[in-house]
């Protein structure tokens, strides 16, 4: 079965909203789903991975910086 993949574009949202919204969306997804999170708040580079892992989700890839955009790929176990 193919895993479902979603994109949450939070570019332009100030911190702490990338963390808050990411956790809200992850809670609604089915097990095994992937969520690609895009943000541009510099603090998110550290806070998003820390908080999603603390909440029990998995980082499917290391965080990436692509110009001003930060990209996170998170899996719901």
Active site residues: 15
Task: Work out the number of other CB atoms within 10 angstroms of the CB of residue 30.
Answer: 8
| CA 70, 15, 53, 50 torsion-angle sign | positive
């Amino acid at each position: 079965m193919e895993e479902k993949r979603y994109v949450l574009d939070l570019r332009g949202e100030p911190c702490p909203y990338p963390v808050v919204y990411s956790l809200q969306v992850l809670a609604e997804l089915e097990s095994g789903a992937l969520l690609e999170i895009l943000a541009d708040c510099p603090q998110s580079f550290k806070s998003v991975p820390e908080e999603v892992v603390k909440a029990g989700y998995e980082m499917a890839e290391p965080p990436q910086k692509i110009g001003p955009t930060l990209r996170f790929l998170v899996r719901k176990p």
